[in-house]
Amino acid sequence: MSKLILFTLLSSLVLMGCQEPLPSSPKNNTIAAAHPLASLAGKKMFEQGGNAFDAAVASGFTLAVVEPSMSGIGGRLQAIYHNASGKIGGVDASTQVPRNYMPTGEKYSSGYKTIGIPGVVAGLLKLQKEHGQLPLQKVMEPAIEYAENGFQILPGEAYRQGLAREVFEQYEGTKTHFLNSEGTSFQAGDTVIQKSLASTLKVIALKGKAGFYEGEVAQKMVNDIQSNGGLLTLDDLKNYQALDSEVFQGVFQGLKVFALNLPSFGAITIQILQIMDHITVEKSEEDWARQIGEVTKLAYSYRKHQQDRDSIDRILSYGQAAKWAKQIEDQKLNLVAQSTLDMPGSWVASVGHTSHLTAADKEGNVVSLTQTIGPNMGSKVASKDLGFLYAVTLGGYLGEYKPGDRSNSHITPTLFMDNEQVVLAIGAAGGSRIVTAVTQVAHRYLAQRHNLNQALFLPRVYPFEDSLWIEDHDGIKQLNANFDLDNNPVKMIDQKARFGRVHAVAYDSINKLWIGAADPDWEGSVENYSSK
């Protein structure tokens, strides 16, 4: 063997030794979503050779059909992903304020005046076009099938639609699509058929983004909205783009944490986790609840400062997190509760809206995706010829905005990574309890070392005004600490789904499997698929 060949071989061995080992390849594909039919739609994509992006998009469109109280194609979307090549990215498809909007002091949380530019369609299509493997028409088949031929409405969805029935009466299109032939709300088990929505989805499947933001569908949106006092224009729709999100990075339990900048509340999510990383959490449930409650209270005091880069640097600083942790442990923080009168309506809403799904595949693609029309049933407005509800964007419910702004929310899809391997992908629904649900389940799983399903099952907390709310409904009462309610500002909340609904996927490195989990307080499910 020549010296040159020997040198080349030795050099190659040295280079190979310097490379980080590749992450273990998962043996399965998994999706966890807020409705069983949405999870099944994702599984169908896996069965047909699709990847996690195809599954997530199929599931997202299906949720728009079967769970319209929580999300829909008239709403907004935020997603974070890791693709098979190792890239971490995000998609901002939040609703946008029309260009001809003029801020006023008037407050409203439903009706045509609340409608901005929808983002969900652009967001789902961006994910599928840039990262999916299957044709769009194939990916949208399940949603179209359920809209055209019907599905059985679940008890939770029937209940939420019933809550909005009286408001539906004000809008002809909404009555047509969301009340039955007798003028009452659908009941659990009823078969719901949505022909108009099916037609809209078919145009999107055929023409892509232009099928929704231009042409006949766009014209029908604008005609209906403008004729009823709304602001949306054809130019608003045509110019709308789903954008690449800015991705923030933090540290928790030795892992890298990735979350999104505004319009997502990812900075606050990282802030809470990094402070908790510096706190010595006692074993008692009582101490854990108090500590994470104080950390959340501090982080939530920074919600209004996320648009300032200096504030963002402080929020995301791991060193600053250590200082905050020391102040909390020494009980030197005297935070004054923010008045609810100063908060946007979405921050104090009792019914947490929104829907979340997480998908992962054998190639290492992972998608954590949250979409919403918030609040419950959105604006309560559906155009008669199109069949979907519009999200609330204007009117102060989400805060005050200028023309061209995108609406912010507590949405926070999040990834945790060990070197190049995603170990947890998580997100939640639930309004202002989204961040608390994500951070507390992540802490339960990664720091307390509970299995994923148990991490979702254990009680959660939420600091509100001058008290700490504790989840305390049937099924978890026996897991709660024995708080001295006379001497502690604690309020036990006996209400399911009030503290966020999490759908997550974690990686089992021993068995090389994705493990999905669906929130026990909701009607979602997990589907797995392993090709032979």
Q: What gap in Å lies between CA 498 and CA 510, rounded to an integer?
A: 34
Q: What is the pTM of this model?
A: 0.93
The predicted-structure confidence for 165-193, as pLDDT tens digits, reads as follows 999 999 999 999 999 989 999 999 999 99
The predicted-structure confidence for 111-164, as pLDDT tens digits, reads as follows 999 999 999 999 999 999 999 999 999 999 999 999 999 999 999 999 999 999
Determine what percent of the chain is predicted with pLDDT higher than 70.
92
- Tell me the average pLDDT across 506-525: 97
Q: What gap in Å lies between CA 358 and CA 499, rounded to an integer?
A: 19
The predicted-structure confidence for 429-463, as pLDDT tens digits, reads as follows 999 999 999 999 999 999 999 999 999 999 999 99
The predicted-structure confidence for 225-258, as pLDDT tens digits, reads as follows 999 999 999 999 999 999 999 999 999 999 999 9
Q: Which two tokens stand for residue 478?
A: 């026996």
Name which of 279, 313, 358, 366 is nearest 86 in CA terms: 366
The predicted-structure confidence for 292-302, as pLDDT tens digits, reads as follows 999 999 999 99
Q: Which two tokens stand for residue 120?
A: 């969900």
- Tell me the average pLDDT across 39-52: 98
Q: How many helices (H) and strands (E) does the chain have?
A: 20, 19
Higher pLDDT, 239 or 335: 239
Provide DSSP, 318-330: HHHHHHHHHHHHT
pLDDT on residue 411: 96
Q: What gap in Å lies between CA 280 and CA 385, rounded to an integer?
A: 57
pLDDT on residue 10: 35
**Neighbour count for residue 450 (Cβ, 10 Å):** 16
Q: Does 265 score more than 50 pLDDT?
A: yes
Q: Does 50 score more than 60 pLDDT?
A: yes
CB 33 within 8 A of CB 503: yes
Residues forming beta bridges with residue 91, ordered by sequence position: 79, 244
